[in-house]
Structure 1
């Protein structure tokens, strides 16, 4: 499948607008299972040729496949297509390279956004854009644009580290809010507050250790790879959460 994906990446960069292709997800990190998806980021400028992309997807899949245009999947994940190639799931995810670069410029100044996005229950944190580039593997990049950006993002910006680490206050605030709702048995509000607390803590601790956190999946477990202080901070929050849940269930 590796050769097939390499062929796919090379052909994709001949589609109008597509400037580079990046392998992301667990396969880029070497943490994949045999049945893991292949996640390909299709970085474009201007307006990508979605008709040409759909035709290429159809050719690789061997049956009709559609690639949606920008915004088709939401304000942050943008668009793409789900393919089944040689019995393996391959996801094409469009990324606006101009927007990625703009977000990266903001991150270098300590600015970030958290937007609403389907599939991201705790919101889409904008530093995921440069984080994807930093953690991904460039498969095709004729102009060298994505390769240059990957080199830049290899160094975690100190202003972003400070900003995200400082956001940790909201985790404690969220637990306090859950504690207030627990006696009345408002389990929905309690669970949402606690989920939010864990999500913020994961982002803050990763940033503190200059490590990119792309989304909620596996974020809490990944804290085990950080130092003992990070693990203890997470454990302390877990203890607080258990106390709140005990009150709510009562």
Structure 2
């Protein structure tokens, strides 16, 4: 789908009551998309959102069977939207409550964050992800200028958030300890879960130290490994770590030793990046 077609579609979307602006997100916005990638359009709205009007527009551009959800139907953080096929291309409309996004930006500026349970996000959705999406996306329609104002505030990762993400490495240390207690039982599923969270925490800490946004788990390890100053062979060592989770207590212990080394090296790398 061409840029011109995307902007034309965005102009039609902001005419729907409740829609304040439209932002191109995901791999298309970052320039890392492939021919198989979906095109993500963030629909930034204020309640009440006219879902009937959105459904009518969806049927016009994506065919008579197209539909969009009510807000909140996809869960508390993904919110809602529609998976559509427009001009033969997969185009996802994804709702974002603009007031909630603004609160996310404010919390990030103050160094406050949490990971929230959400289907499809095993690490959890970081509430600063909303702010990061604005920072990393491409504004397609913004009649009120509110998205542009948020973009100005999020152009760089807030220092307080970066410091908080690095400080969050304490949880990775804690998880190493509790996971070791499961080694003698060969409880590989529990240990794998701990390891996944440990790796995610490290990836976020490295991005925080580097002053870079990381908005979800997809591609997080590769992105962290590509950061200047990241632990050597970070991605390859994470892959090897998970390959060792096979139920054998000796292998599980080795995996946790590798994870412990990565956590220590991540802390050192973050300290060097912050200088």
Give the TM-score normalised by the residue count of structure 1: 0.93
2:169 maps to: 168
Change (3 A) 1:239 1:72: closer
Q: Secondary structure at the match of 2:152?
A: helix
Aligned residues: 249
Q: Distance in 2 between matches of 1:199 and 1:96?
A: 26
Cα deviation for residue 114 of structure 1 reads 1.2
Deviations 1:106-147 (A, max 9, x none): 111111121111110110101100000000000001111101
CA shift, 1:182, in A, is 1.8
Give how far 1:241 is off: 4.0
Residues of 2 paired with 1:13 and 1:66: CA distance?
Answer: 18
More strand by share: 1
The separation in 1 between residues aligned to 2:180 and 2:83, in whole angstroms, is: 42
Aligned equivalents of 1:84 and 1:242: distance in 2? 36
**Cα root mean square deviation, aligned:** 2.1
Q: Residue 232 of structure 1 aligns with which residue?
A: 232
1:235, CA displacement in angstroms?
Answer: 6.6
CA distance in 2, matches of 1:122, 1:34: 28
Q: Is the 8 A contact 2:104 2:131 kept in 1?
A: yes
TM superposition score normalised by structure 2: 0.85
Secondary structure at 2:68's aligned position in 1?
A: coil
Q: Which runs of 5+ in 1 are unaligned?
A: none
Is 1:247 the counterpart of 2:232? The answer is no
2:123 maps to what in 1?
Answer: 122
After superposition, residues 154-165 of structure 1 pair within 5 angstroms as 154-165=155-166
* Superposition deviation, residue 86 in structure 1: 1.8
Cα distance change, pair 127–237 in 1 and its aligned pair in 2 (3 A): farther
1:182–1:244: 8 Å Cα contact kept in structure 2?
no
Residue pairs, 1:1-250, within 5 angstroms = 1-2=1-2, 3-228=4-229, 230-232=230-232, 234=234, 238=238, 241=241, 245=245, 247=249
Name the CA distance, whole Å, in 2 between partners of 1:236 and 1:85: 38
State how far apart, in whole Å, the 2-side matches of 1:33 and 1:243 are. Answer: 28
Query: 1:236 Cα shift?
Result: 10
Other structure's SS at 1:120 match: coil
TM-aligned CA deviation for residue 148 of structure 1:
1.1
Q: 1: distance between equivalents of 2:163 and 2:55?
A: 42
User: CA distance change for structure 1 residues 5 and 240 in 2, over 3 Å: closer, same or farther?
Assistant: closer
